[in-house]
Structure 1
Amino acid sequence: MTRTHKRLTILDFLKRAIFLTLGAILMAVALEVFLVPNQVIDGGITGISIVLSHVTPVPLGLFIFFINVPFLILGYKQIGKTFAFSTLYAIGLMSATTALLHHVDPFTNEKILAVLFGGLILGLGIGLVIRFGGSLDGTEIVAILLSKKTRIPVGQIVMIINVFIFIIAGFVFGWDSAMYSIFTFYIAAKVMDIVVEGLDESKSVTIISSEYEEISEAIISRLGRSTTYIYAKGGYTKEDTQMIYCVVTRLEVAKLKAIVHEIDSKAFISIQHVSDVLGGNFEKNNIH
């Protein structure tokens, strides 16, 4: 048993290393082959590095690496050792790859194409690194540390930081480039979400109904999804009941609603987005 566990651990490590490497290289390609030659920037520390490399003779890769490292060290306790080393590896490789690609001719000089393909590749690279336990930008670390002191949500801090970066880009590269950069950032963010969360989105569903047994059986037999009962007590009626909890795919939501309303038209249904599903038995049961 011990040997098997060790073999699985090595495979997991290799898988992580491969995808961290791929993600870092993809981001470097997006920057040096599509975005930077067309004066389009990314958000976060990468965006700051692009601006600084434009106004100084220092290569982009050096700025990306050396600006990120202090925040990695600062946030070491908050993000954990594995995440810190994965991030350090990804950022180091990405910085080195940008240096290697710096003199490669851009694939296109059309800004629209650069934004579309650059944003797509950028989001794919960042998404792969995040999915496999790392990061390619220290902005999130800065935001986490500031959030603890200011009580402002992390997402809002990241947005505020990026607004300032795109304003600076407007003064340095021109306002057309700044607006192109905002679209690039948006495209990259959407692609990153798809890579991290997957195309087959899952939804968690909570159902409250007096007909919970019949509804649960119908979900199992007609949708092939397992259900879980959660004890509940009515706040107004004070009656004991059972809530039904299950996880379905986005495409199954409509059918689940139809099944529930067919049995109890007054049933309460709460549907929430699930970013990831791990463990348990999420595979569909065979329906005959």
Structure 2
Amino acid sequence: MRKVEVPPGAAPVTHSTFDNLQGLAFGVVMVAFGITMLKAMGLITGQAAGLAFLISYGTGADFGLVFFLINIPFYILSALRLPRGFTLRSIACVGAISTLARLGPHLIRFEHVEPFAGAVVAGFCIGIGSIGLFRHGASGGGVGILAYYIQERTGFRAGWLQLAIDAALFTAAAFLLDGMAVLVSMVGAAALNLLVAFNHRRDWYIAR
């Protein structure tokens, strides 16, 4: 990807309300689609969604509800440390993702998906959706909020932080899921985080 050069004295392009709404809608749909695909395959992903998957598989609780509740501590962090608009948009996006994840199995059914291919595609969908949310001033909640905060303050890439946290999550998953499901899920999570790490950089995207 070519680095965008900003002319001296030029201000970043400002997103219009429509720009933000369509970008957030795209991000929500892509994240929800990826989650629906992983659920259909009995896999997990990383971060807060991965923890919600584990709780849902282990207890039978509804994934959408668990996902929303897990994010509450991160909403508090966002409210204390990040702009109010970012917090409100993130809460709205997580609510929309949770709702679509609950509706997903009723809207889309997968006849057959090769596990590794499906995990990578789902990871790419969640990853590109997360980038869409980041670039329009929101996140899909959970570790995404923490990663966004750290990247904005230090420049440390969000994808690398998420990848490190996922390593701990998948270690825990090994005690609940069979080894092959964990391995396939790790491949999908790696695809997701590498996509975010390589493509979500402040020096490559200057719109605000």
Q: TM-score, normalised by structure 1?
A: 0.58
Aligned to 2:203: 274
1:62-95 alpha-carbon deviations (Å, 9 max, x no partner): 1111111232123312111011011111111100
Query: CA 1:192–1:163 in 2, change beyond 3 Å: closer, same or farther?
Result: closer
Secondary structure at 1:133 match in 2:
coil
Aligned to 1:263: none
Counterpart code for 1:28: A
Aligned to 2:178: 174
**2:28 paired with 1:24:** yes
Query: CA 1:30–1:159 in 2, change beyond 3 Å: closer, same or farther?
Result: closer
Q: Identity rate of aligned residues, in percent?
A: 21
In angstroms, what is the RMSD of aligned CA positions? Answer: 3.0
1:278: how far off? 6.0
**2:77 paired with 1:74:** yes
Gaps of 5+ in 2: 1-13, 151-155
**2:95 paired with 1:92:** yes
Counterpart code for 1:31: I
1:117-143 alpha-carbon deviations (Å, 9 max, x no partner): 112211111111111111113214457
Distance 1:278 1:109 in 2: 37
**What does 1:1-288 align with in structure 2 at a 5 Å threshold?**
12-32=16-36, 34-103=37-106, 104-106=108-110, 108-142=112-146, 158-193=162-197, 196-197=200-201, 274-277=203-206
Distance 2:38 2:76 in 1: 29
Q: Is the 8 A contact 2:47 2:166 kept in 1?
A: yes
Secondary structure at 1:173 match in 2:
coil
Distance 2:21 2:112 in 1: 31
Counterpart code for 2:126: L
Q: Structure 1 or 2: larger helix share?
A: 2
Q: Is the 8 A contact 1:30 1:119 kept in 2?
A: yes
Q: Is the 8 A contact 1:45 1:67 kept in 2?
A: yes
Q: Is the 8 A contact 1:28 1:98 kept in 2?
A: yes
Q: TM-score, normalised by structure 2?
A: 0.78
Instruction: State how many pairs are aligned.
Output: 189
1:135-158 alpha-carbon deviations (Å, 9 max, x no partner): 113214457899xxxxxx897764
Q: Is the 8 A contact 2:134 2:148 kept in 1?
A: no
Counterpart code for 2:132: L
Query: CA 1:20–1:38 in 2, change beyond 3 Å: closer, same or farther?
Result: same
Secondary structure at 1:102 match in 2:
helix
Q: Which has the higher contact order (CA 8 A, sep 6+)?
A: 2
Distance 2:121 2:45 in 1: 13
Gaps of 5+ in 1: 1-8, 147-152, 198-272, 280-288
